[in-house]
Amino acid sequence: MVITETLISAVILAVSAAFGSVIYMLMNDSVKSEKKKTLEALMSQFINLIIFIYIIKIILNLHIFLADPLAVLAYPSDSTVFYSAIVLTAFVIIYKNSKGKLDLKGFLDGMITLFLTSSMMYEFIYFLIYSDTSAFVYFLALAFIFLVFYVLYNRIIKKNLMITAVALWGVVIIILSAVYSTATVFDYTMRPWFAVLLAAGVILLILSAYGKFGEYDKKEVGR
Amino acid sequence: MKKYIIITVVAGMLAWSFYEFFGSSANETGQEDAGLETGQAAPDFEVETLGGDTVKLSDYRGEPVIINFWATWCPPCRAEMPDFEKLHKEEDAVILAVNLTHSENNISGVSAFVDELGLTMPVLLDAEGSVEDSYQLSAYPTSYMIDSEGVTQYVVRGAINYETMYREYMALE
């Protein structure tokens, strides 16, 4: 079997997602059934993201798709497609939350934990395979953010912890873009403007889930 | 216990990455032996272009070069070709688009494709398949990104989008 970069990337992504799930299961103190439910909700949104990526890719290249469908499907999507798919997935999450079909607090907690740990593993493997310096630097930054997140997990108010992690990630992307002229997230180019927009969007979701003025939930700060 | 497992895993990853980063940096001596791996000098070749000129890879020493192996029957090759052309035009990138001519039905099909896409980068013809053999291709398309010293810095099997080719090309410079 021919090992193409697409296949390598898919395998790294699967390993990273599995690693992130294991770390989440180890970290989170909720009952097992709740954690499983959160992971299923995350997986469902991840599948939505992949489907949106393909649909948007086809729509943006409809004239080529009609003449040469394989050429479009075989071609890796770019950041425009990725950003659009993220925005659509965000709308689905907001819609599900508004209909009461999603526990937004648990979802965001799981999403941030999984994103940090999966990205960390992805960049680590990517660096080992391609000896890419920017992947190494991004991995170090993610490891730092994750360690801060982990050490403070259950020690400070969850809302503040998540906002800190998301804001730090945004700053890291801006710095990486300035130093290396480009930053990537799961091999997609992450432009500073979208990183800021994404971080701001996630922070707004955190605020809406936990309340703007931060009701102090003592049960969340137990360790 | 769980706490220590997580800390140990992250610490292990950090230690491994530091070892790889500083260990590989110390071993970088600019290998000159020809080979197909990154860090090795890309095998030289000499072929004719679609326009009838003769092109030799080693003639491009001193500037970064991208070698893209492609064929008209390969959908991902067709898909990424406009982006290589864009990189060639906008960044003045040297791209040698090596057509696997021996696998084509006829050369007029290659000419028609080049005209259809308005390609201005050099299209090289691997008429006997000798370049494909020397690069031991296993996927189509395959692209080699070679630095100004003639050393391969990045190999990609399968199609890449403009952002990736731009990023890797800029890393060569």
Q: Is the peptide bond before A76 cis (omega within 30 degrees of 0)?
A: no
B89 at A interface, C-beta within 8 A:
no
Comparing C-alpha atoms, which of A4, A12, A70 is closest to residue B137? A4
> Rounded mean pLDDT of chain B?
91
Mean pLDDT rounded to a whole number for chain A: 90
Distance from CA of B119 to the nearest CA of A (A): 17
Asked whether residue B27 carries a pLDDT value surpassing 60, the answer given is: no
- Please write the tens of the pLDDT for every residue from B88-139: 999 999 999 999 999 999 999 999 999 999 999 999 999 999 999 999 998 8
Residue B32, pLDDT above cutoff 70 = no
Strands B94-99 and B123-125: parallel
Q: Which residues, 6 or more positions from B37, have their beta carbon under 8 angstroms from its beta carbon?
A: B152, B155
| pLDDT at res. A212 | 63
Q: What is the residue extent of each domain of chain A?
A: 2-220
**pLDDT computed for residue A11 by the predictor:** 92
- Indicate whether A214 pLDDT > 80: no
Residue B62 has pLDDT above 80, yes or no: yes
Distance between CA A193 and CA A181 in Å, rounded? Answer: 13
- H/E element holding B96? strand B94-99
Q: How far is A28 from chain B (nearest CA, A)?
A: 10
* Element housing A188 (H / E): strand A188-189
pLDDT bracket for residue B37 (50, 70, 90): confident
On the question of pLDDT at B69 being above 70, the answer is yes
ipTM of the complex: 0.86
Interchain proximity B13–A147, CB inside 8 Å? no
CB burial of A161-181 (b: ≥16 within 10 Å; e: otherwise) equals: bbbebbebbbebbbebbeebe
* B29 has a pLDDT exceeding 70: no
Q: Contact B56/B46 with Cβ under 8 angstroms? A: yes
Q: What is the dihedral of CA B121, B125, B126, B131, to 10 degrees?
A: -30
Write out pLDDT tens, residues A107-156: 999 999 999 999 999 999 999 988 888 999 999 999 999 999 999 998 99
Q: Is B39 left (phi over 0), alpha (psi -120 to 50) or beta?
A: left
Residues 6+ apart with CB under 8 A from A44: none
Mean pLDDT confidence for B71-97 = 94
Is B68 within 8 Å of A64 (Cβ atoms)?
Answer: no
Name the residue in chain B with its Cα closest to that of A25: B2
Average pLDDT of the segment spanning A41-67: 92
Residue A223 has pLDDT above 50, yes or no: no
Asked if the C-beta of B162 comes within 8 angstroms of chain A's C-beta atoms, the answer is yes
Decide if B10 and A74 are in contact by the 8 Å CB cutoff: no
Whether the per-residue pLDDT at A222 is higher than 60: the answer is: no
The model's confidence at residue A104, banded by pLDDT at 50, 70 and 90, is very high
pLDDT at A89: 97
Cβ contact A71–B154 (<8 Å): no
- Give A-chain residues touching B17 at CB under 8 angstroms: 124, 127-128, 136, 139-140
- Tokens coding B105: 């039905």
- Cβ-in-10-Å burial (0-12, 13-18, 19+) of B138 comes to exposed
Check: CB of residue B88 under 8 Å from CB of residue B64.
Answer: no
Task: Count how many Cα atoms sit within 13 Å of the Cα of residue A166 in the half-sphere of its side chain.
Answer: 23
**pLDDT for B70 beyond 60:** yes
* Residue-wise DSSP of B110-150: HHHHHHHHT--S-EEE-SSSHHHHHTT--SSSEEEEE-TTS
* Nearest by Cα to B71 from B95, B35, B103, B48: B103
Distance between CA atoms of residues A22 and A114, nearest Å: 9
Contact present, B48 and B125 (Cβ < 8 Å): yes
